[in-house]
Chains A and B, each alone.
Chain A
Amino acid sequence: MTNPKKGQTRITIYPDWCKACGLCVAFCPAKVLEIDVAAGCARAVREQECVNCGFCELHCPDFAIVVTPRGKTRNGGTQPPQENGN
């Protein structure tokens, strides 16, 4: 049986912010993430397997990973939004 939560999300990783600590990779229950050693950051290699548990977002010490519902518009870029860049 397929998990109805599966495949509902998009994962964005800000490569400039991610320090490749591996925390999200090690604890993701769906093995969605891997470290791209050459790029020095995490990558969502199996995005369709994500069960939207929130572990990665709640634990990333660098606020570098975003899980959003599929279809919802995001800022889309590889940089975080800068709401209060004062």
Chain B
Amino acid sequence: MAEVTQLIHEYLRHDKKFPHVLCPGCGHGILLGSLIRSVHALGIPKDDVALVAGIGCSGRVAVYVDFNTVHAVHGRALTVATGIKMAKPDMHVIVVQGDGDALSIGGNHFIHAARRNIGLTVLVLNNFIYGMTGGQCSSATPLGCWSTTTPYGQMEKSFDFVEMTRAAGANFVSRGTVFHVKTLDKLVRQALVHPGFSLVEVLTPCHTQFGRKNKFKSPVDMYQWLKKAAMPLEAYEKLDPDKRAGRIPIGVFVDNHEPALETRYAAMRAKLAKG
């Protein structure tokens, strides 16, 4: 094992201020590393990547990496990415969003981008909270959890991003965690080359705004929890249903190969051009 960090440093924008702005132990940085390794492993040139980020701590990851990057409006990363992909279908258009960005304020765009099956690689950094703005609940905050807007515990059920994206019609749906980083690298690589809408839900600790108010003593404690709670989907499916509580399946949930929107669009244009 060598040159992992050196490789990452080759992709960073060293004119930005480092260390980056994220809190000690924030998992978002691990996903950035995973993304860089995955793009590099596939031999995709930096200039062929458009990285569109939403607003939030998760959105900050796009600031530090030397791809074509857009820091979009909160919740609207997918709309910008949709435009880029339709205009430049050969580009690898990657979207990084938080749980708040993707499925709270941006939920409508998310559902429809998945339904259209447009060829985007969508990395949702799910830390169960609005990290950047001070720990308000999001649509991913689990039942009973503390947040600044649920001081007596969350009483709304949370979204299951995987089931939601499956139901909306996306081609590729997966979940990983920043602790299981080799699996995560594999999922990101798969999502990058899979045609159509490709989701990786990335479970990631925010100790500052979520963990410390929900009985995790330290960032390390949250990684211990991910280590214990997550398990491969195949093993999860074999578990006795009453032993599933507290366990989180990770892996590939949907692996379809329907034509992506931009492919249908190109075919339509070719047909119309023939007259």
Residues of A within 8 A of B (CB): 9, 16-23, 26-27, 52-54, 57-69, 72, 80-86
Provide the B11-27 mask, 1 if CB < 8 A to any CB of A, else 0: 11111001110111111
Contact present for B181 and A17 (CB under 8 Å): no
Shortest Cβ distance from residue A58 to the other chain B in the assembled complex, whole angstroms:
5
> Which of A58, A68, A81 counts the most chain B CB atoms within 10 A?
A58
Interface of chain A, main secondary structure: loop
Contact present for A58 and B8 (CB under 8 Å): no
Contact present for B1 and A53 (CB under 8 Å): yes
Shortest Cβ distance from residue B79 to the other chain A in the assembled complex, whole angstroms:
29
> Which of B4, B20, B26, B218 counts the most chain A CB atoms within 10 A?
B4
Known A-B contacts A22-B220, A58-B181, A84-B66; A17 and B18 likewise in contact (beta carbons under 8 Å): yes
Which residues of the other chain, B, contact A60 by a CB distance below 8 angstroms? 5, 29-30, 33
Shortest Cβ distance from residue B180 to the other chain A in the assembled complex, whole angstroms:
10
Known A-B contacts A22-B220, A63-B33; A86 and B15 likewise in contact (beta carbons under 8 Å): yes
Contact present for A69 and B19 (CB under 8 Å): no
Which residues of the other chain, B, contact A65 by a CB distance below 8 angstroms? 5
Q: How far is the CA of A72 from the CA of B1 in the complex (A)?
A: 13
A18-B19, A82-B14 known; 16 new pairs, CB 8 Å cut-off, are A22-B218, A22-B219, A23-B220, A26-B223, A58-B182, A61-B22, A61-B27, A61-B29, A62-B19, A62-B22, A63-B5, A63-B9, A64-B19, A80-B18, A83-B14, A84-B66
Which residues of the other chain, B, contact A19 by a CB distance below 8 angstroms? 19, 23-25
Contact present for B1 and A57 (CB under 8 Å): yes
Interface size on B, residues (CB 8 A): 37
Which residues of the other chain, A, contact B28 by a CB distance below 8 angstroms? 61
Known A-B contacts A16-B19, A63-B12; A68 and B2 likewise in contact (beta carbons under 8 Å): yes
Contact present for A81 and B9 (CB under 8 Å): yes
Which residues of the other chain, A, contact B4 by a CB distance below 8 angstroms? 54, 57-58, 66-67
- B30 CB contact (under 8 Å) in A59, A69, A83: A59
Which residues of the other chain, A, contact B163 by a CB distance below 8 angstroms? none
Shortest Cβ distance from residue A78 to the other chain B in the assembled complex, whole angstroms:
13
Shortest Cβ distance from residue B184 to the other chain A in the assembled complex, whole angstroms:
9
Which residues of the other chain, B, contact A66 by a CB distance below 8 angstroms? 4-6
B10 adjacent to chain A (CB < 8 Å) = yes
- A63 CB contact (under 8 Å) in B1, B2, B8, B181: B8
Contact present for B19 and A84 (CB under 8 Å): no
Q: How far is the CA of A83 from the CA of B14 in the complex (A)?
A: 8
Nearest residue in A to B5 (C-beta to C-beta)?
A66
For the complex of A and B, list the 3 residue pairs with the smallest distance between their C-beta atoms, beginning with the closest. A54-B1, A61-B29, A21-B25
Which residues of the other chain, A, contact B26 by a CB distance below 8 angstroms? 61
What would be 30 A-B contacts, judged by CB atoms less than 8 Å apart?
A16-B18, A16-B19, A17-B18, A21-B219, A22-B220, A23-B25, A23-B223, A26-B224, A27-B223, A54-B1, A54-B4, A57-B5, A58-B33, A59-B179, A60-B5, A60-B33, A61-B25, A61-B28, A61-B29, A62-B19, A63-B5, A63-B29, A67-B1, A80-B9, A80-B14, A82-B9, A83-B10, A84-B11, A84-B66, A85-B14
